[in-house]
Structure 1
Amino acid sequence: MTKQHTMIELHHIIKRFYIGQPNELEILHGIDLKVNKGEFVSIVGSSGSGKTTMMNIIGILDRPTEGEYMLDGVDVAGAKDKELSMIRNQKIGFVFQTYNLISRTSALKNVELPMLYAGVGKKERTERAKELLAMVGMEERMTHNPDELSGGQKQRVAIARAMANDPSIILADVN
């Protein structure tokens, strides 16, 4: 029997937002989650239920108020911001609800951006971005800026960007 490799492990994750004394709003209440390599997990719930907050914690864009979080064997709860940025860039691809594309730059350059941060050379970066855009059916629109794209086209660019550094994890916060 093959041993499962745990990619995401959350133990008793609590997230509180402080909205002025004495008010606090607890969004996540002791969440436990384990996701193994190769698994596909969907988190569903009504609007305002904490799905995006949980994704931001899993994607290390935000920190829990309490609890432990291991990402691919690394305790990210105690890591410094610079280390977290490196982990995010290498291990996680994001597809956000609002896509978060840079409006004044082409689809191609948007997909290249994570690779630029990872130190990938220009030629390799451009070739990979073109391959990814072709994979999502955007080869004819790669020179277009986001304001020249439909919502579905923007989403496909965001998906290509999420795959740019061949991450271990892709987090998609979609409607």
Structure 2
Amino acid sequence: MRTTHRDRLHWAVTLTVALVGLWWLLGGGEGLLYGFIFAPLAAGLCAWIAPGRLPGLRPLALLRFATLFATRSLAGGLDVAWRAVQPEMPLQPSWVRYPLRLQQPVARSLMMITISLTPGTLCARLENDTLLIHILSPDMKDGIFDIEQAVAAVFGDHGAGRHP
């Protein structure tokens, strides 16, 4: 599918709004002038090198995904910290093969990044439609399906309908 100038403009405007909002949120309003200058420049560069159309995102699903990611990150961080201070270090590292049902490349990428950013898990490789994930404990694999479902909802990817 050919990317049009309108697609690139859509990328740039959407990303500019997101970056300015993030700048304002993280900076508390300080230096917002710099955000208004550099966000459009960064967004324009991204729109110029973007591989295609901006995927359709579902805002409520994105909010649910962000909430899931934040709570999983906090819980995972506390769990990993607790294991680290235990004298016996209750770790049982292992590899898990997870059959990935997401079809859209951007959804697959977000899934892999989310797994890797969640404490105690690391997405090592995608082979065909299978993720190779390193986990510190067998109970950490329980949340992988929930992450896939949340990512699928954000992008409307209907390939991730059934639990493996």
Q: TM-score if structure 1 supplies the norm length?
A: 0.23
Compare the two structures and name the one with the higher helix fraction. Answer: 2
**Structure having the higher Rg:** 2
Provide TM-score, normalisation by structure 2.
0.24
